[in-house]
Chains A and B, each alone.
Chain A
Amino acid sequence: MSNGEDLVDTLRRFNLFADLDRAQLEAIADPDSERSFATGERIMRRGMSGTGFYVILDGEATVTLGGDELNRLRQGDFFGEISTLLDEPLTADITAETPVRVLEIPGPRLKAFLISYPQVMYRILVTEARRLQEVLAWRS
């Protein structure tokens, strides 16, 4: 890792994994799940199937639709869960704005992952609830 910190130490600082002990973090921190993107490289592509669940380890990415920036993602943020859970193509592009590293849970393994770590599932649910609340507040 470029900053000399190991994957377990990075993950333990994220809200998403705050309830896990060291052994659980080590089980999640599979070096083969780490992926890296250059500045400007696309991380996810609208319309593509077969994606996975990603957590940003470092760097920044933008969510865009056409030319419009919808959102900006930073360290600890996650994405890809909706198209994975619904088994539907991605609805937006996600592009690395800086060099980005992510932890990837491949789509076919997401269900088993969430069931193995219900504390992580709960924290994802809280985030999804907050996103839904924002959308509802915006509509009312």
Chain B
Amino acid sequence: MAVVEGVHPPGEYPVVVVGSGPGGLQTAYALSRLGVEHAVISQDDSPGGMFRKWPIYQRLLSWTKPDAPYDRSSREYEWYDHNSLIADEPELRATVAAEMDRTYMVPSCAEMARGLVAFAVRGGVQVRYGCRWESTRREDSGYVLVTSDGEYRCRAVVFALGVTDPWKSPIPGIEDVPHYAETPLAREFQGKSVLIIGKRNSGFELADGLEPWARQIFLVSPRPVQTAVLATATVRVRYFEPLEDASWGGGTFALDAAVERIERTESGGFRLQAAGTTRPGPITLEADAAIAATGFRTPIQDLRELGLATVADGRIPALSPYWESTTLPGVYFAGNTMQGAAGLRKNGVGSASGTVSGFRYNARLLAQEIAKRLGHKQEWQQLGRDEIVAFVLTELRAGPEIWTQKGYLARAVYPDGSTGIVPLAHFLDHCETGSIAVTIEMNAEGEIYPVAYVRMGEEIDERALPTHPLNDFGGDEYRRALESLV
């Protein structure tokens, strides 16, 4: 029996968005702005998604700088606030910044959650809460989502589910090891030795949180921590203390080893057998407690049976540059699952699509793409021929989309003078002759510089522009380079 009261009751919609975390809220807001009719459903009872419970011990990783070179109500300010969702109305901007108590540069979990609620409430984002997506069917014209409230029929569906399902690597004995998501309060580890399986973000978050309590900490996984990459990565704050402790030979060890087996000891602890990787040889460890910080996966439920292709060892859907499943047309993903569209990864540099800072922009482009496919007419900003260079220089200096999504999103200007943000991979393969796009990119040495791409017939001319000591890419040198290209 379908439940028909309340917002977005079961029925037929052009688009259904599943999820009320930042990815779902941003997509729903952007669809509304474009006038695309849609329903939003969420199994939760309030907005915020994973930020209502995670990170467990810590603050967030990304900056929100309450005061910055640009006013908080401006678009340029977004580059200094990596946690708020984006909007056209000043009162919907910087909602996380407004919650910050300025104790730290990064918001607490509670500040983040309040900022998201403020966006949802002020932005009038309508969500049908307490409505759980249970299964999926494919029909000629699209998809049917079976939910706890009834069936939703749609041509396009956007799953904004996060990468939130606890995932354990297939190690014999790991079933006895609690997952990160089940970690109790830090004080319960007082005086204990703790084995953490995993040396990524969540593993180091636990190690950092447990440093003041635990007697000894062992972090174990096959691959070494990439300290060179870490140096410029947002997650580095979580690695500082445990790695410092490890490098001083203190109570923390970060071991590179493939875990072969975990078993319980008679005293209720854990014993781990592993084979060293960076330094080969057998390793046996015993500890009072163990936690599997082996990561998460997107809760795709029955989509795999419909043919959804995945990456990351089955954990994340494989996505096109516009975040559509590579195998299920009309199935899109928003939120941090957008990392399933890796982009070009030039010089090994990844996107910011795994965090709010990056996927908020992707969500706006996704809404535009869906609107286009549904036949909605959209207004694009138009530039006169003599305005193009000055406009592009302004974007290179402070365009938050290209600064946040380095080498992933591009500012494009087309031959008819229209301009917009576009996934770089899509631009390179689909733009018409005479189109130009610019990006901000970073090389393996951490140098930041603009790159211009010009389409001429079948060829793309890729032109890296020089670096600048103040990252001011608006000056004469850049003007001359762009004038020669436009």
Contacts and interface: CB of A to CB of B under 8 A. Distances in A.
Contacts of B92: none
Contacts of B223: 27, 30
A7 interface: yes
A1 B318 CA distance: 10
B313 A1 contact: yes
B326 to A, nearest CB: 4
Contact of A51 (B280, B342, B346): B346
A72 to B, nearest CB: 20
Given A22-B258, A23-B277, A41 B320 contact: yes
Given A31-B315, A41-B429, 16 more contacts: A2-B304, A7-B313, A22-B258, A23-B276, A31-B311, A32-B312, A34-B313, A36-B340, A37-B318, A48-B462, A49-B346, A89-B462, A101-B309, A106-B347, A107-B444, A109-B348
A42 B347 contact: no
Contact of B310 (A2, A26, A29): A2
Interface of B: 170, 222-223, 256-258, 275-278, 280, 295, 304, 309-315, 318-321, 326-327, 340, 342, 344-348, 425, 428-429, 443-444, 458-462, 464
A108 B280 CA distance: 24
Contacts of B312: 31-32, 34
B222 A26 contact: yes
Contacts of A42: 425, 428-429
A48 B309 contact: no
B313 A2 contact: no
Interface residues of A, number: 39
Interface in A77-126: 89, 99, 101, 104, 106-109
A99 B309 contact: yes
Given A22-B275, A89-B462, A50 B347 contact: yes
B344 A48 contact: yes
A32 B345 CA distance: 12
A24 interface: yes
B462 to A, nearest CB: 6
Contacts of A4: 314
A38 interface: yes
A76 interface: no
Nearest to A3: B314
Contact of A27 (B258, B295, B318, B320): B258
Nearest to A25: B258
A43 to B, nearest CB: 10
Contacts of B461: 47
Given A49-B346, A50-B346, A23 B318 contact: no
A36 B346 contact: no
